[in-house]
């Protein structure tokens, strides 16, 4: 840690991942894809815990056109995470080893209602270790009044299922056990449920000639069962519970412009207002209820992508995030630069510089123990077979 993080030590993070994907075109114009993914992450946080996490993921998808007016997509997936934590004095995940699984199946039908109107209905069913079966429906309506414009709306339900922090995390106190009863400052909620979001969106997209396009989306979300920190009903410390609700409303805008065949510009903006309140009966002690802990009120991004030569690219990305209120995190502006070289059709080399405007800055979490994102340069090699 730096001088602004007195008493802290650097967190060591290492990892690797591997992705394989197979695509096939079937009879009748149908398409099928199968993707396999493996990820390994190792995190060593001195004085807290050491984590080794293996994640395996398999996803299948099939798309076909039925009759003349239905485009149907369906699929299924399975993910397994092997999580091993060596606990220390400050924090603990109990049990230290846990295997988590997620299984899902989904289907979506896009139906033409005439030449200019399309209706899309979809449903995803997902099963997890903590809360069992979750249902995620969606309904979308799109109208194309002219060749270069599209007006659309959507209703959807999404969830954030419990993580190990919500259920298995403990921060013990000294002494950790009194009369055979565990004591802790903060503990996972054994009955913590999924956070739920119901989202309404209204958007417009427009193509401006052949070189530019823009889109704007307004959104309104209602949240229920947001995470709070409630007094432990067993008498000591606090536990995570679903004691808050809230709303988010805002707008998202994007614009693309290609002034030259080899030069592309992109701009994006998100502005939103977040409101969360404790539900009746909640005694939240965290002072960080709900969404305000992780989502800024504004975010913008500018990107330039330039083909500087045969099979060579140079990208600049300037991004800004507004401040967070609870816990207080200042706003920041960051610059990323990428040079890419397509050595062969199946081999690409990239050199990337991140956070080049300052030595380090925080993006979330409370001082003084929060992590900071430092200036970094790395090399990436991608082989596509």
| Alpha carbon distances (Å) from 45 to 15, 51, 99, 186 | 15, 9, 21, 18
Q: pTM value?
A: 0.83
Encode pLDDT of 47-100 as tens digits: 778 899 999 999 999 999 988 889 999 999 999 999 999 988 778 888 999 999
Does residue 380 fall inside a structural domain?
yes
More confident residue, 17 or 12: 17
Does residue 379 fall inside a structural domain?
yes
Does residue 343 fall inside a structural domain?
yes
Q: What is the chain's length?
A: 385
Residue 368: predicted pLDDT: 66
Does residue 109 fall inside a structural domain?
no
Instruction: Report CA Rg, the chain.
Output: 24
Residue 378, number of CB atoms within 10 A of its CB: 9
Round the average pLDDT of the chain to a whole number and report it. 90
Does residue 349 fall inside a structural domain?
yes
Does residue 138 fall inside a structural domain?
no
Does residue 113 fall inside a structural domain?
no
User: 130-148: b or e for each residue (b if 16 or more CB lie within 10 Å)?
Assistant: bbeebeeebebebeeeeee
Q: Find, among 95, 105, 160, 103, the residue nearest to 128 by Cα.
A: 103
User: 4-17: b or e for each residue (b if 16 or more CB lie within 10 Å)?
Assistant: ebeebeeeeeeeee
Residue 142: predicted pLDDT: 98
Are the C-beta atoms of residues 190 and 134 closer than 8 Å to each other? no
Asked whether residue 203 carries a pLDDT value surpassing 70, the answer given is: yes
Asked whether residue 3 carries a pLDDT value surpassing 50, the answer given is: no
Measured at the alpha carbon of residue 362, what is the angle toward residues 356 and 365, in degrees to the nearest 5? 160
How many domains does one find in the chain?
1
Does residue 39 fall inside a structural domain?
no
Q: Which residue segment(s) compose the domain that 320 sits in?
A: 309-385
Encode pLDDT of 107-135 as tens digits: 999 999 999 999 999 999 999 999 999 99
Predicted confidence band of residue 2 (pLDDT cuts 50, 70, 90): very low
Residue 134: predicted pLDDT: 98
């Amino acid at each position: 840690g730096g001088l602004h993080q007195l008493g802290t030590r650097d967190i060591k993070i290492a990892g690797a991942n591997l992705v394989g994907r197979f695509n096939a075109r079937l009879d009748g114009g149908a398409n099928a894809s199968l993707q396999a993914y493996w990820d390994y992450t190792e995190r060593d946080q001195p004085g807290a815990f050491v984590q080794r996490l293996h994640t395996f993921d398999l996803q299948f998808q099939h798309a076909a056109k039925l009759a003349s007016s239905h485009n149907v997509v369906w699929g299924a997936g399975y993910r397994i995470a092997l999580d091993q934590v060596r606990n220390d004095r400050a924090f603990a995940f109990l049990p230290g080893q846990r295997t988590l699984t997620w299984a899902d199946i989904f289907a979506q039908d896009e139906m033409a209602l005439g030449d200019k109107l399309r209706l899309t209905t979809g449903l995803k069913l997902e099963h997890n270790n903590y809360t069992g079966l979750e249902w995620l429906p969606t309904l979308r309506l799109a109208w194309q009044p002219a060749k270069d414009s599209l007006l659309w709306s959507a209703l959807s339900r999404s969830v954030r299922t419990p993580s190990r922090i919500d259920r298995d995390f403990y921060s013990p106190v000294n002494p950790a056990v009194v009369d055979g009863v565990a004591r802790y400052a903060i503990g996972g909620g054994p009955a913590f449920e999924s956070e739920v979001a119901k989202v309404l969106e209204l958007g417009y997209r427009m193509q401006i000639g052949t070189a530019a396009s823009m889109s704007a989306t307004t959104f309104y979300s209602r949240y229920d069962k947001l995470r709070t920190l409630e007094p432990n009903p067993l008498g000591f410390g606090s536990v995570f519970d679903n004691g808050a609700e809230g709303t988010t409303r805002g707008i998202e805008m994007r614009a693309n412009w290609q002034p030259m065949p080899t030069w592309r510009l992109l701009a994006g903006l998100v502005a939103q207002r977040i409101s969360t309140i404790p539900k009746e009966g909640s005694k939240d002690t965290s002072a960080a209820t709900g969404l305000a802990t992780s989502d800024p009120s504004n975010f913008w991004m500018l990107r330039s992508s330039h083909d500087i030569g045969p099979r060579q690219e140079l990208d600049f990305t300037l991004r800004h995030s507004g401040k967070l209120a609870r816990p207080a995190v200042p706003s920041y502006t960051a610059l990323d630069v990428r040079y890419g070289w397509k050595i062969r059709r199946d081999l690409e080399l990239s050199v990337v510089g991140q956070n080049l405007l300052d030595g380090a800055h925080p993006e979330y979490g409370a001082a003084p123990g929060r992590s900071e994102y430092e200036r970094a340069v790395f090399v990436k090699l991608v082989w596509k077979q």
